[in-house]
Structures are given as C-alpha cells and as structure tokens.
A = this chain, B = another copy of it.
Amino acid sequence: MKHVIIVGGGFAGLNAAKILGNKTDIRVTLIDNHNHHLFQPLLYQVAMAALSPAEIAVPIRRILAGYRNITVLQDEVTGVDPLQRTVTAMECSLHYDYLLLACGVKHAYFGHEEWEEYAPGLKTIEQATEIRRRVLNVFEAAERTSDCGKQRKNLTFVIVGGGPTGVELAGAIGEISRYTLAKDFRNINPRQARIILIEAGPRILPSFSEKLADKATHDLTALGVQVRTASQVTNIDSEGVQIGDERLEASTVLWAAGVEASPIGRSMGVETDRMGRIVVEADLSIKNHPEIFVAGDLANFSHGRATPLPGLAPVALQQGRFIARNILRETAGKARGNFRYLDKGQLATIGRSNAIIELGSMRLNGFLAWLIWVFIHIYYLISFENKFFVTLHWVWSFFNFRRGARLIINKEWRFYRKNTDEKHKEG
C-alpha cells in the first residue's frame, strides 16, 4: 500500500485527496496547520463583514470524512527530508511514498515585516477578522470623538497594492461607507470616508488588459476610491503611511501588495524562484524527485509559457487533480502525463453588482460580469451547505445593502486580566 502525504488543504491538496479517496492500495495523510479548507476568493467578503467565516470555510476532516483511507492531521509541517522520504511536523514524523506539497503562499512585506502590525494582509480567516475589527472600529472611534483631525484620520483607509485583492477591498470599503453604514451614525457621515488605493506600478490590475483596468479605475472612483498609481510606499507606522515625501494619516492600512511562497521549498534545497516558489517539471514533480509533487501557489510551472502560471484557484484545483491521477496511473503501472492548464480566465469584483472578467480575448465588465462572477463562485464553493447559505446571504444583501456580519469581536475574552497583561492595542 502506497502512502501519499499531502501538505496543505487548499484547492490543490483537497482536490488531490478527493481523487485518491477510497482507492485501493493507497492511503493518504493530509496535514494542514488549520482545521479548515478556506475558499480564498471570498475571503475579502469576510474581512468586509458581508459573510461569516463559517460560510467560506469548512473543516477539512468533514469534507473528507467519507474517505476511510484518508487521515487528516491538524499540525504544522516543519521539514521534509527528500532522501529519507519523511515529513516532520510538530507532533509527528511520517514516511511517504508520494509527497504533494501544496502549502501555498503568504503575504510578504519585502523585508519590512514590522509593517505587518500596522497593515495586515489577507490570507487567513484570522487576518480577515482582524481587518473587519479594524475597519468597523474606526467608524465607532470617529463617532465617539468630536475632534475633526481624529475623525479624518479614523475615516481614512489606505490599501497598498492594486491587484485583484486590493481592488476588491477598496471597492468593498467604498460600498460600506456609501451604502451600508450611511444612515447608522449621528456624529459622522460615513460617506466622507477617504479610501486610497496605492499601486507602485504604472496601473492597477496589471494581469488584466489595460482597457478593463481603466474601467475598474473609473468604477472605483465612482465609489469614492482615489486610485494612485506609480506611488511607492516607503514607510508604514501606527499613524499612517509615507509615500516618499508625502505623509498620509490613516487609522487603517491594509496590505495587498505581494506574496512569497511557503519557506518549505527553500528549506529543502530544491530550485526555487525569486518568490520562493518551487520550480517544477512538466509533470509537476521536482527535478530528480519524481515522488515529490508541488501544486498551487507554491509551484512555479512555466513549461511552454512566457510567464509561470498565476496563483489562481483553477490552477491549483487542476494541478491537484492532475497529480492525484498521475499517482493512480503510476501505481497501476501506466506512464505519467504532463500537466496542461485549461485557462479559466480571471475575474475581480468592484463593489456591489460590478465585476471584470477576462478570458483570452473575451473581456466583460459591469452587471453581467458580476452575475457570472457570482455564479462561478457559488459553483465552486465546496460544500452544498455553504453554497446554499452564501447564495441566500448574497441575494439578501443585494436587495437591502446590509452586511450580516458587522460584528466587532475582540481578541481578549477574559474579564479578569492579570495585571501583567499588556492590553491589546486596537488600530
């Protein structure tokens, strides 16, 4: 019986596991440091209080409960020994016949890790709830004070990075301040919120065509978002951001400017690219290690392509399935195939009822694009229950502009604190 270890329960790992589930002569161990699979494309909606965490995250062991040959472990992988074929985690060390590395990327501050405290990124549920807490808290703080300077700072939101995540965050804050919260305050007018999207490159959404990026800029502006391109953030602190000589006072700064791969590739001594992604062969294995595969955001796959495949859900999903099928072929004595990506295009939303879609030469924007966006995301949401509730929530929110999850949940749960506890600072 072959033992397949899968590291990471994202789109790649989970879809590989499903194909290997209940197959004879295969047993699978899936290790993830979270207990849930996260539907990342909708994470910004949790950060923006439109959805609850449970609506886009499902316990991995629940999804895989029906496959008796799969064991799920919540643990943190600390190392891989390709020679001994072992994976070491905090609480176990396991031998594998096949290894699938699919532990993705995290956001990166390019050497300024101290910025994270002031400008959270958006990769995990924890970060999404942190961002939600900050965004909702500043409106409350602005309502409490009568100091105009403080109000202005509290109602200034800076989003660093003009990719799809930055655009979606900026659009959502625009929508919240112009519609959702418009009537809820007495001392402030949430519509006066300043939302500034900062991009270092010459234009936002560089992976999309220039025409769609222009449309996105136009639509963001209509939502009250200032789009500033060719602007390099040179410092971030608790009071705001610095762009060269210019100072922007802001209580909320969000980071959507870059990612780096899980450090596992570098720790294994295999070939990685500048972002730390593992360079893979045409069959998604590592050179000289045909028993180790890499999939999803962690993989740099550039065979027959000008640029490596982007970090998108369809790429991860197709790679995970492809690897699992190759393992099945090989254990059945057949030859492996090479991976080919079936392009599903790319999309991004801009506020409510507006999106942009690009697939080859097909370009679409506006309400129809948004309907397609909604349909695709519901279709891919992995469990029926979640699809069902997310659909309902969306329909509901669409008609009344409400956001169902506008809760400020503090990090501290205790009433009785030790005197030595440092009180958490809120942004």
Contacts and interface: CB of A to CB of B under 8 A. Distances in A.
Interface of A: 34-36, 52-55, 57, 59, 61-62, 65-66, 71-75, 91-92, 106-107, 109, 113-114, 116-117, 120-121, 123-127, 129-130, 136, 140, 143-145, 183-187, 385-386, 389, 392-393, 396, 402, 404-416
A398 to B, nearest CB: 13
Given A52-B52, A143-B73, A389-B389, A413 B183 contact: no
A413 B385 CA distance: 27
Given A74-B140, A416-B116, A59 B187 contact: no
Contacts of A71: 186-187
A72 to B, nearest CB: 8
Contacts of A402: 62, 385
B54 A414 contact: no
A386 B389 CA distance: 12
B415 A183 contact: no
Given A34-B408, A129-B409, 9 more contacts: A35-B140, A53-B409, A61-B185, A91-B144, A116-B414, A116-B415, A116-B416, A123-B415, A127-B413
A293 B10 CA distance: 54
A-B interface, 10 closest residue pairs, ranked by CB to CB distance from nearest? A113-B416, A54-B405, A126-B413, A52-B52, A130-B413, A74-B140, A35-B408, A61-B184, A71-B186, A59-B406
Contacts of A185: 61
Nearest to A187: B71
A414 B404 CA distance: 26
A184 B71 CA distance: 9
B53 A407 contact: yes
Contacts of A52: 52-55, 405
Contacts of A126: 409-413
Contact of A109 (B36, B183, B406, B416): B416
Nearest to A406: B59
A74 to B, nearest CB: 4
A113 B416 CA distance: 6
Contacts of A405: 52-54
B57 A407 contact: yes
B415 A35 contact: no
Contacts of A116: 414-416
A415 B54 CA distance: 22
In this complex, the member of A62, A65, A185, A416 whose beta carbon has the largest number of chain B beta carbons within 10 angstroms is A416
Given A71-B187, A91-B144, A416-B109, A409 B125 contact: yes
A30 to B, nearest CB: 11
B75 A144 contact: yes
A325 to B, nearest CB: 24
Nearest to A35: B408
A53 to B, nearest CB: 6
B184 A62 contact: yes
Given A413-B127, A415-B106, A184 B65 contact: yes
Contacts of A109: 416
A124 B411 CA distance: 12
A136 B406 CA distance: 25
A407 B91 contact: no
A161 to B, nearest CB: 16
A49 to B, nearest CB: 8
A414 B115 CA distance: 11
A402 to B, nearest CB: 7
A401 to B, nearest CB: 11
A144 B92 contact: yes
A226 to B, nearest CB: 27
B144 A73 contact: yes
